[in-house]
Amino acid sequence: MPKAPAADFAACFRQLKAILEPYSEKLRVAHDKPGYYYLETHDKPNRGHAIGFAAVRAGKAYVSYHLVPVYACPGLASAISPQLKKRMQGKGCFNFTVPDASLFAELKKLTAEGFKQFKNIKLPASRMTG
């Protein structure tokens, strides 16, 4: 039986964060520190709170990629491959211990489609553009 690759949280975090960084021009970077990167809306339409879009967080057991549009936009989850679904925990979280180029490419596409759908959600006074 082949040996499982050694965990590489730093590389996972770096590559997953790179998927989200292009959206920092349209969204607000709420957190950008080692092991945690979080994007949200500029405005605060939810009773004075911004709406989270996505985050990457390094934990003790894995690196998590949270993508709110998978949860918030009906139909988006139906495009997720069985391989990526195996990485899901909950409705919009994907966990990794090592980088996976094909799954990260799929996440990049899913994030782009999620952004298109997310920015069209009717949020009062939202500044999401693009």
Per-residue pLDDT of the chain (130 residues; tens, 9 = 90+): 444 456 799 999 999 999 999 999 999 999 999 999 999 987 665 566 778 899 999 999 999 999 999 988 878 888 899 999 999 998 899 999 999 999 999 999 999 999 998 877 654 444 444 4
Q: Is residue 64, in this structure, part of any structural domain at all?
A: yes
Question: What is the model's pLDDT at position 11?
Answer: 95
Q: Is residue 102, in this structure, part of any structural domain at all?
A: yes
In three state form, how does the secondary structure of the chain look? CCCCCCCCHHHHHHHHHHHHHHHHHCCEEEEEECCEEEEECCCCCECCECCEEEEEEECCCCEEEEEHHHHHCCCHHHHCCHHHHCCEECCCEEEECCCCHHHHHHHHHHHHHHHHHHCCCCCCCCCCCC
Give the global pTM: 0.85
Q: Quick check: 56 and 20 in contact, CB under 8 A?
A: yes
Q: Is residue 127, in this structure, part of any structural domain at all?
A: no
The pair of structure tokens assigned to 21 is: 């960084």
Question: What is the model's pLDDT at position 51?
Answer: 82
The pair of structure tokens assigned to 61 is: 């057991």
The boundaries of the domain holding residue 33 are: 9-118
Q: Is residue 82, in this structure, part of any structural domain at all?
A: yes
Q: Is residue 126, in this structure, part of any structural domain at all?
A: no
Q: Is residue 34, in this structure, part of any structural domain at all?
A: yes
Question: What is the model's pLDDT at position 74?
Answer: 73
Q: Quick check: 70 and 110 in contact, CB under 8 A?
A: yes
Q: Is residue 130, in this structure, part of any structural domain at all?
A: no
Q: Is residue 57, in this structure, part of any structural domain at all?
A: yes
CATH classification at residue 78: 3.90.1150
Task: Give buried/exposed letters for 3-38 (b at 16+ CB in 10 A, else e).
Answer: eeeeeebeebbebbbebbeebeebbeeeeeeeeebb
Question: What is the model's pLDDT at position 3?
Answer: 47
Total domains, the chain: 1
Question: What is the model's pLDDT at position 47?
Answer: 61
